Amino acid sequence: MSFQNPVFIPGPTNMPESLRKAVDMPTLDHRSPLFGQILHPALEGVKKVLKSETAKVFIFPSTGTGGWETALTNTLSAGDKVLAARNGMFSHRWIDMCQRHGLDVQIVETPWGAGLPADKYADILKVDADHEIKVVLATHNETATGVRSDIAAVRKALDAANHPAMLFVDGVSSIASMDFRMDEWGVDIAVTGSQKGFMLPAGLAIVGFSPKAMAALETATLPRTFFDVRDMGNGYANNAYPYTPAVGLLNGLNEACKMLLDEGLENVFARHHRIAEGVRQAVSAWGLELCAVSKDVQSDTVSAIRTPEGFNATDIVTHAANKYGVAFGVGLGEVAGKVFRIGHLGSLTDVMTLSGLATAEMCMVDLGLDIKLGSGVAAAQEYYRANQLAMSKAA
């Protein structure tokens, strides 16, 4: 596998040159005022990307999984009840984490490929008259299935039931790539990482806490130290960290936020949608279907593509890596072997995307699928050339 080709995994993404350089910095004393000049703008930048006025942002040297744990352990106590739907590998893992931490998860099994069932949430919340459910978990974008759910609808379910449960959203593969509105949607904790929409190496868990989530710190008794947001917040007040921060990644995050906000979030989202739509045109031209069951849940950051019965979709991924030096994503969990995934988030151009589609075509033909070489590429080309956005700046 070669560094010359772009990657088409749903994160870590291809990194813009300027972000790689921002991360690769010499050692800077993290107890000096200079560190504050990196930290605070990064925190502010994330807040804007989350579209929040009121959130407290915390950034840990960790990953999205650590962000989930941060959300749970800072706000809940053993035995607390949590409502969650399982519609893919990442919602599954978050549920599993809850259970390991002694939470009582009410699971709504949902078809992999479908979005979060806001209507079922509504029903459950309505009957929870005693408000035993403390938190509703929602995976905004299921990276495993390429399914984006409607978080506003989940909020409506909560509001309709007049239910005080908090809303925690896993936005790892949506935030900074697809529209996310922390305040408007009443999200209490938003979780993401550095290696997706922020286009950085993995290594940061990024979380936003609403005032309500902050209030929950007082009562939560799940043990936590590394992920304790109180220590983290106290550190920030002194331009510092409770332990050694990942300074280079924070510097990169600061730059990434500047880059995203400079482009304009709506432009970023439109860019992702356009790139994704080209991929979907190709999938149609191939005569294949997405795992996402309907147009409204198609993700703009990753497409999980179903291959015909009897064909092992994972072979495409292996073959692409071995023969063409290109990385796609395999199917996970229930859809293992049934789908392969094309990640199309972050800093990706038409040109790069077309090379991924061309590679996928070669792989499918090599492996005996009845696909016409150039067919998906042509469909995407037609879409891209006819639907041009203003060129982004060199990155």
**Angle of helix 247-263 versus helix 33-49 axis, rounded to 10:** 40
The Cα 112–Cα 49 span in angstroms is 28
Can you tell me which of 79, 102, 287, 308 binds a copy of itself, judged by CB under 8 A?
102
CB of 226 to a copy of itself, least distance (A): 5
Q: Which residue lies nearer to a copy of itself by CB, 58 or 324?
A: 324
Can you tell me which of 40, 100, 126, 131 binds a copy of itself, judged by CB under 8 A?
100
Q: Which residue lies nearer to a copy of itself by CB, 126 or 323?
A: 323
Residue 78 interacts with a copy of itself (CB under 8 A): yes or no: yes
Return all residues near 15 (Cβ < 8 A) that are at least 6 apart: 199, 200, 201, 346, 347
Task: Say which amino acid occupies 279.
Answer: V
Residue bearing tokens 């905004």: 140
Q: For strand 141-142 and strand 133-139, is the pairing parallel, antiparallel, or unpaired?
A: unpaired
Stretch 354-393 residues interacting with a copy of itself (CB under 8 A): 354-356, 358-359, 361-362, 365-366, 372-375, 377-378, 381-382, 384-385, 388, 391-393
Give whole-number Cα distances, 317 to 239, 277, 312, in Å. 44, 21, 10
Residue 54 interacts with a copy of itself (CB under 8 A): yes or no: no
Residue bearing tokens 């890596």: 321
Residue 80 interacts with a copy of itself (CB under 8 A): yes or no: no
The Cα 281–Cα 265 span in angstroms is 24
Stretch 145-204 residues interacting with a copy of itself (CB under 8 A): 193, 195, 201-203
Q: Which residue lies nearer to a copy of itself by CB, 117 or 331?
A: 331
Q: Which residue lies nearer to a copy of itself by CB, 301 or 347?
A: 347
Q: Which residue lies nearer to a copy of itself by CB, 123 or 366?
A: 366
Task: Compose the 121-140 pattern: x for residues touching a copy of itself by CB under 8 A, - for all others.
Answer: --------------------
CB of 175 to a copy of itself, least distance (A): 15
User: Of 74, 72, 90, 92, which is closest to residue 82 (Cα–Cα)?
Assistant: 72
- 113, burial (CB in 10 Å: exposed 0-12, middle 13-18, buried 19+): buried
Q: 373, 23 in Cβ contact below 8 A?
A: no
Task: Compose the 222-261 pattern: x for residues touching a copy of itself by CB under 8 A, - for all others.
Answer: xxxxxxx-------------xxxxxxxx------------
CB of 43 to a copy of itself, least distance (A): 18
Q: Nearest 5°: CA angle at 185, between 182 and 187? A: 55
Q: Is 306 annotated as a binding residue?
A: no
CB of 235 to a copy of itself, least distance (A): 12
Stretch 22-51 residues interacting with a copy of itself (CB under 8 A): 23-34
Window of 95-103, 109-117, 159-167, 302-310 that interacts with a copy of itself by CB under 8 A: 95-103
Stretch 323-352 residues interacting with a copy of itself (CB under 8 A): 323-327, 329-330, 347-352
User: Of 169, 197, 193, which is closest to residue 182 (Cα–Cα)?
Assistant: 169
Backbone conformation region of residue 256, classed left if phi is above 0, alpha if psi is from -120 to 50, else beta: alpha
User: Of 85, 128, 129, which is closest to residue 108 (Cα–Cα)?
Assistant: 85
CB of 347 to a copy of itself, least distance (A): 6
CB of 1 to a copy of itself, least distance (A): 5
Annotated binding residues for substrate: 341
Annotated binding residues: 341
